[in-house]
Structure 1
Amino acid sequence: MSLLKVEGLVKRFAGHVALDGLDLEVAPGEFLALLGGSGSGKSTLLRLVAGFEAADAGRILLDGADLTGVPPHKRPLNMMFQSYALFPHLSVFDNVAYGLRREGVAREEIGRRVGEALALVHLTGFEARRPDKLSGGQKQRVALARSLVKRPRLLLLDEPLTALDANLREKTGFELRALQRATGAAFVMVTHDQDEAMALADRVALLDKGRLVQVGAPREVYDRPATRFVAEFLGAANLLEGRPLPDGRMECPALGGTLRAETPLAGHAAIRAERIRVAPGGALSGDNVALGLVEDVAFRGDDSLLLVRMAGGAVLRVAHAEEDGAPPERGASVTLAWDPDDVVPVAP
């Protein structure tokens, strides 16, 4: 049984459709990332589940109970905001204890549960500090402790790592994942960072223009994007169009060759940059092979990104791994090749 179930959710703002009949389920103890660009509807969905906005149509069920009309403070879930929303005049202890006090929890129980929550986020000993005496990462952990101290089965997180620098964001992200596993709560996290979503989530749900376009395990949606949008949004994918042939291949004029996949191609295909092999010009021939000219090379640490203009005019992005030797230089003629399994049919 699903912990959270969203059915046919619709939300409009002044004629703009923010969510368009969205369906989604979250399992108990699951970490789900909502991923999409600005205006995709991911934050709106979170606010509807939390009760800060009312849906124009559809239902939100938590443990089978319909949350329609239930105010935010009476919903058995918590939400952690991007700004953390800590009370500046309260200590760390009092910030974390705030929700428990509002519910009339006994003083001894509050002390025990706040202590447990702070230990969980490695902030034991910080009880008396005020927010202005904390680092960004420490504030984030106080906000997490406050969200978890009421022991919700569902925690909503609105871009919780955005305010942190890159190194701290990665470290805190893994701490967040460990925390989710330790508590057993389901986490639904909004993010626009694809690397963050892929690294932390059990499943990734991609939204575009208020619709759910694909949901699945990170590797599944990366390796087998369902649409052009997903292929472009997740990593460096090369998108190609062409004319389907009777034998399932696709003639691609912009490539200057033909594509062959494990399944028949209908006119649109994607190939990941790291799945393309590079050989000296003219070294290979056949399907899934094409000649090109290296227009630019950008060193990226573990690999180099090549921009290769093909005979038909298309420019392909190619990730050349350092372990494969020095990348070809600008102006070099190369042959690009890939396996049929790396050619993914996508919807327009």
Structure 2
Amino acid sequence: MGLLEIAGLAKRFGAVPALVGLDLRVEAGEFLALLGGSGSGKSTLLRLIAGFEAPDAGSIRLGGQDLTAMPPHARPLNMMFQSYALFPHLSVGNNVGYGLRREGTPRAEREARVAEALAMVGMQELAGRMPHRLSGGQRQRVALARALVKRPKLLLLDEPLGALDANLRERTGFELRALQRRTGASFIMVTHDQQEALALADRVAVLEHGRLVQAGPPRAVYERPATRFVAGFLGAANVLEGAPDAAGGLDCPGLGSTLRAPASMPAGTTACALRPERIALGQPVGGANTASGVVEDLAFRGDDSLLLVRAAGGTLLRVSHAEEDGPPPAIGSTVTMGWEAAAVVPLAG
């Protein structure tokens, strides 16, 4: 049994389904990232787990205990909001200890746990400071300490790094991951930042229109997307359409070539994913898994350049060109491309 067990969870807002029969399991000590586009249901799922919304159907169990009808304050979990929601009239220390005070925790124990939580996030020296005198990163740390001070089995994080600038996001993200490992708590994080999810989570769960379409370790989901949506959403893979051929490949007129995977395509396959970084330029053209095209545009990204290449059949391909391989081809130039069969991923839908 996992720490969190969700079965058949459904929620509608009027005529609009937000979640549709969702099943999800989170293990003890696991860091799970929820990904999906706007309206996919990821924030609704977080609010249902926290108790801020009531499901129309299904169950939520934490440590074997049914939470479905339990009010938010009684659930053995905590939530860190995107806005941080600090009380402006309370000091850092009093913000962190507010929940313990409401529960009637004795003063000595409360002060010890507040000090411990602030030390975890490196804010112990600012216990007496007011929120308006804190930077965005410091407010984020106070909100995290407040969420952790009650020692929840499960911590829910709604876009926890969204208000931080790029450099601070990266550093704070790694600190968040280290803190999760140190406390042993399970974290469920909603984020729109795919790179953040891939870097921090033990497992990612991708939602589409209220349904869980794929879940697994970040590398597995990135390299082997199950559907067109996951392939396009996570890392923006090239999704190539075609029709099965007699040899178990996929004939792609828009590519002007045939795709072949290591094994025959599953029956009914009409699309495959191909990651931009798996396409090599300057390869001999002829036969399966090769193509030619014209560079229509390019964008420098630091350690590589992203090329937009119009294949001979009309399909526009995204191709990564590493800086270590020399200058990228110029806009308007004709290029040849090739990729290994292992880079071709058949898609289910």
Cα distance in structure 1, aligned partners of 2:291 and 2:84: 51
SS at match of 2:126: coil
CA deviation vs aligned residue, 1:189-211 (integer Å, no higher than 9, x gap): 00111011001000000001000
SS at match of 2:68: coil
Cα distance in structure 2, aligned partners of 1:84 and 1:161: 10
Which residue of the partner structure matches residue 7 of structure 2? 7
Which residue of the partner structure matches residue 319 of structure 2? 318
Candidates 270, 274, 285, aligned match of 2:273: 270
Q: 1:292 Cα deviation (Å)?
A: 1.0
Q: Which amino acid aligns with 1:313?
A: G
SS at match of 2:128: coil
Cα distance in structure 2, aligned partners of 1:128 and 1:273: 51
SS at match of 2:277: helix
Q: Which amino acid aligns with 2:294?
A: L
Which residue of the partner structure matches residue 224 of structure 2? 224
Q: 1:335 Cα deviation (Å)?
A: 0.9
SS at match of 2:321: strand
Matched, 1:66 2:69: no
Q: 1:298 Cα deviation (Å)?
A: 1.6
| Aligned pairs for 1:170-209 within 5 A | 170-209=170-209
Cα distance in structure 2, aligned partners of 1:252 and 1:51: 48
Cα distance in structure 2, aligned partners of 1:322 and 1:68: 53
Which residue of the partner structure matches residue 295 of structure 1? 296
Cα distance in structure 2, aligned partners of 1:224 and 1:135: 40
Q: 1:236 Cα deviation (Å)?
A: 2.9
Which residue of the partner structure matches residue 76 of structure 1? 76
Cα distance in structure 2, aligned partners of 1:229 and 1:25: 22
Q: 1:4 Cα deviation (Å)?
A: 0.4
Segments ≥4 residues shifted beyond 3 Å? none
Which residue of the partner structure matches residue 234 of structure 1? 234
Matched, 1:150 2:150: yes
Cα distance in structure 2, aligned partners of 1:250 and 1:69: 50
CA deviation vs aligned residue, 1:170-201 (integer Å, no higher than 9, x gap): 11111110110110000000011101100100
Which residue of the partner structure matches residue 34 of structure 2? 34
Residues 218-227 or 329-338, more deviating: 329-338
Q: 1:15 Cα deviation (Å)?
A: 1.0
Cα distance in structure 2, aligned partners of 1:147 and 1:177: 15
Q: Which amino acid aligns with 1:89?
A: H
Matched residue count: 346
**Structure 1 unaligned blocks of 5 or more:** none
Cα distance in structure 1, aligned partners of 2:148 and 2:18: 29
Which residue of the partner structure matches residue 166 of structure 1? 166
Q: Which amino acid aligns with 2:57?
A: A
Cα distance in structure 2, aligned partners of 1:35 and 1:240: 23
Q: 1:264 Cα deviation (Å)?
A: 2.2
SS at match of 1:125: helix
Which residue of the partner structure matches residue 286 of structure 1? 287
Q: 1:263 Cα deviation (Å)?
A: 2.8
Cα distance in structure 1, aligned partners of 2:257 and 2:285: 12
Which residue of the partner structure matches residue 328 of structure 1? 329
Q: 1:251 Cα deviation (Å)?
A: 0.8
Residues 2-11 or 244-253, more deviating: 244-253
Residues 164-173 or 71-80, more deviating: 164-173
Matched, 1:25 2:28: no
Q: 1:312 Cα deviation (Å)?
A: 0.7
Q: Which amino acid aligns with 2:126?
A: F
Matched, 1:243 2:246: no
Cα distance in structure 1, aligned partners of 2:331 and 2:319: 13
SS at match of 1:2: coil
Cα distance in structure 2, aligned partners of 1:46 and 1:192: 14
CA deviation vs aligned residue, 1:268-311 (integer Å, no higher than 9, x gap): 1010000000007xx33221011111111221111111111111
Which residue of the partner structure matches residue 256 of structure 1? 256
Cα distance in structure 2, aligned partners of 1:190 and 1:215: 14
* TM-score calculated relative to the size of structure 1: 0.98
SS at match of 2:328: coil
